[in-house]
Amino acid sequence: MAAMNFPSSPVNGQTYTNPDTGVTYTYNSAEGKWKTSVTSNAFLPLSGGTLTGALVTTAGTASTPALQPTGDTNTGIFFPAADTIAFAEGGAEAARIDSSGRLLVGTASARSIFFNGYNNWTPQHQIETAGAGVNDGVRSISFTYGRANGDAPIFCFAKHRSDSVGGTTVVANGDGVGVISFSGSDGSEFVEAANIAVAIDGTPGSNDMPGRLVFSTTADGASSPTERFRVTAAGDVLFNTTNNNPSAANVAGVAISSGSFGGYISVSRDSGAPCEINRKTNDGILIEFKQDGTAEGTISVSGTTVSYNGAHLSRWSQLPGGAERTEILRGTVLSNIDEMCGWGEEENEQLNRMKVSDIEGDPNVSGVFQAWDDDDDTYTDDFYCAMTGDFIIRIAEGVTVQRGDLLMSAGDGTAKPQGDDIIRSKTIAKVTSTHVTCTYDDGSYCVPCVLMAC
């Protein structure tokens, strides 16, 4: 087909007939367009040709679209209103782009009753299906990807801070990135029941975009969602709190945190037990404690009895005057003194300081040295004193003990047999085995015992 060569500088009412099709066009000077009127059975073949100027057609309807394919007169494109394009399929409207640029699929009217009608909220793109007895497929959307690799299809949300399309202005800490919202109708408007949101969780930079994932639900009687848990940029999972250590901050919530040392769980609540553990049908271990992958102790239940296995009671303490750390051998006998431990402004009404016992038969024995507390970056001179239960105790070189011996302070940080089998104020422990667990450079050694400092 040859190009249609319309006359140049036409005047109103001037005509032009296409030599290939015989279709006559009339120039409309008011609109500046060549126009034609064809019958419903006529068509305009343009294959291989060039059409200059505008192609003007009637508005059409859903049942008779203005632009339609050969042999399918109820499917095509029509123009139901000013600045509106609609698509018909089988004589019914399937989708449209309205005068506000909104893409509407399955509906001709944009809804503005989302989020409790807040600010006349009207989503820019809307898809709607309805009808009784329709196939379940009408309520689903599918995105399928196929390739001989492990890649998955991607549904991408993206945010920038520019006001123009194509912008890439950097986002800021706290900016929302994407939200999936779930709403139900209350009879007059759609009220949000839950949402899943993503926000920036730190300061972004080049190829650096910290983010958090937040899950929220709407409580019974409420009209908007409340955050229930989040996954932070650091990998912490926080339930009903935004604090990654609620017990330390004295706020309610649960945090499963990656932490500085590999992970911890922090639980805090206003009243009631913060943690409950239950075995459904039988007795056995409730909690197992491990160190370096090896089980070291348990808490178990048998009927109405709870047992603490492989454990002893210990407490924090400090050296006289809050002195700095010095070498104290594990199992060394300690003695109470009339000084209270100090931790800044924190109140302390019961924990006193201690010294290495320096009196033979010391009635003020408090327990034995266990270890320095390495878990506090602020107060670095605290230590643990083992007081009651299974542990070890230090014996001087040359001193012999027997299983069953009651021990007292030897006055040099070690213990020695008490000499009788009466538990007294000076009694610190009972030997449970003569097995030597360790020997120190000064020749002193440790044996297992049951501590009974009181």
In a domain, 338, yes or no: yes
In a domain, 103, yes or no: no
In a domain, 391, yes or no: yes
What's the CA gap between 394 and 184, in Å, rounded?
Answer: 70
The total of structural domains in the chain comes to: 2
- Where among 210, 245, 268 does a domain terminate? 268
Tell me which residue range forms the domain holding 206: 176-268
Please state whether beta strands 352-356 and 333-340 pair in parallel, antiparallel, or not at all (unpaired).
antiparallel
In a domain, 414, yes or no: yes
Q: Residue 352 is part of a domain; what is its CATH number?
A: 2.40.300.10
In a domain, 122, yes or no: no
Q: Are residues 229 and 331 in the same domain?
A: no
- Where among 234, 268, 302 does a domain terminate? 268
In a domain, 404, yes or no: yes
Q: Are residues 240 and 328 in the same domain?
A: no
In a domain, 320, yes or no: yes
Name the residue among 262, 219, 224, 227 with its Cα closest to residue 243.
227
Q: Return all residues near 249 (Cβ < 8 A) that are at least 6 apart.
A: 243, 268
Say what the pTM is: 0.69
Instruction: Indicate the residue type of 342.
Output: G
**Burial class for 154, CB neighbours closer than 10 Å (0-12, 13-18, 19+):** exposed
Q: Could you write out the three-class secondary structure of 307-324?
A: EEECCEEEEEECCHHHCC
| Angle at 199 (CA atoms; ends 194, 202), nearest 5 degrees | 145
According to DSSP, residue 171 is labeled: P
The H-or-E segment that residue 408 falls in is strand 406-409
State the DSSP string of 44-81: ---TT----S------B-SSSBSB--TT-TTSEEE--S
In a domain, 382, yes or no: yes
Q: Return all residues near 15 (Cβ < 8 A) that are at least 6 apart.
A: 24, 25, 26, 27
Residue tagged 């922090």 (tokens): 266
- Where among 208, 242, 268 does a domain terminate? 268
pLDDT tens, per residue, the chain with 454 residues:
455 677 888 899 898 887 766 778 888 888 777 777 655 444 555 555 566 667 778 899 999 999 988 889 999 999 999 999 999 999 999 999 999 999 999 889 888 888 776 667 788 888 888 776 667 777 788 889 999 999 999 989 999 999 998 999 999 999 999 999 999 999 999 999 999 999 999 999 999 999 999 999 999 999 999 999 999 999 999 999 999 999 989 999 999 988 666 788 999 999 999 999 999 989 999 999 998 999 988 999 998 898 888 778 899 999 999 999 999 999 999 999 999 999 998 899 999 999 999 999 999 999 999 999 988 888 899 999 999 999 999 999 999 999 999 999 999 999 999 989 999 999 999 999 999 999 999 999 999 999 997 6
